[in-house]
Amino acid sequence: MLNEAQSLSLGDRERLFGWLEGTRKMILVEPDALLTHASRMPGLDGQKMSKSYGNTITLREDADAVSKKIRTMQTDPQRVRRTDPGDPEKCPVWQFHLIYSSEEVKGWVQTGCRSAGIGCIECKQPVIEGVLREQEPMRERARMYEEDPQLVKNIIADGCEKARKLAQETMRDVREAIGLDYS
């Protein structure tokens, strides 16, 4: 009956099989996709962000370096002079506005860029502030670990021990489920 029910997801099908077989749990659950509103972060040049392309902003990069990188980003190629109207859709900075700017700022950018009312440097400032605002908690949390490397080693050791125990339990359940009982 479960094989004929086409509207069931794989996860639901596995859960029902587990319930019917009496185990009431799933072993080796297939993970679901976790997507955000920005599934791919654009690079400083408009391509996908990648270290090999050299177009990245690292998570704990200092504020001056982030500001410099964003200020020197290329913009709409049609907008040569400050008085030339631009098209935000053709500008790599706009991709950052989609992620970091409020609706009010996005409207300001759309209007200002198309009418040449704002310059590219002015357009980049809200992005700089947004990136720095997002990075600040990461820099704060990382400071403690940078000052005490032994803390990091202890966390890794504890995590390894927990992972080892969990893996042993999972493998025991897998062996039971497929009928390989070594005891």
pLDDT digits (tens, 9 = 90+) for 136-170: 999 999 999 999 999 999 999 999 999 999 999 98
pLDDT at 57: 92
> Domains in the chain: how many in total?
3
Same structural domain, 54 and 25: no
Are 8 and 65 members of one domain? no
CA gap 127, 160 in Å, rounded: 39
Residues 53 and 107 in one domain: yes
Shared-domain flag, residues 6 and 92: no
Do residues 112 and 145 lie in contact, with contact meaning Cβ atoms separated by under 8 Å? no
Backbone angles phi, psi at 42, to 5 degrees: -75, 150
Residue 45: its pLDDT value, please?
A: 85
The percentage of the chain sitting over the pLDDT mark of 90, rounded to a whole number, equals: 49
More confident residue, 32 or 79: 79
- pTM for this entry: 0.68
Does 1 have pLDDT greater than 60?
yes
Interacting residues of 147 by C-beta distance below 8 A, sequence separation 6+: none
Do residue 121 and residue 183 come from a single domain? no
Kindly indicate the confidence band of residue 130, based on its pLDDT and cuts at 50, 70 and 90. Answer: very high
| 127 and 162 inside one domain | no
Q: Are residues 68 and 152 in the same domain?
A: no
> What is the DSSP code (8-state) at residue 54?
T
123, HSE (Cβ side, Cα atoms, 13 Å): 32
Summarised one tens digit per residue, pLDDT across range 83-116 is 899 999 889 899 899 989 999 999 999 999 999 9
Together in a domain, 155 and 125: no
Per-residue model confidence (pLDDT) at position 47: 84
Amino acid 173: pLDDT: 82
130, 105 contact by CB (below 8 A):
no
Phi-psi region of 22 (alpha: psi -120 to 50; beta: other; left: phi over 0): left
For residue 171, the enclosing domain spans 148-183
Q: Which residues of 1-12 are buried (b: 16+ CB within 10 A; e: fewer)?
A: eeeeeeeeeeee
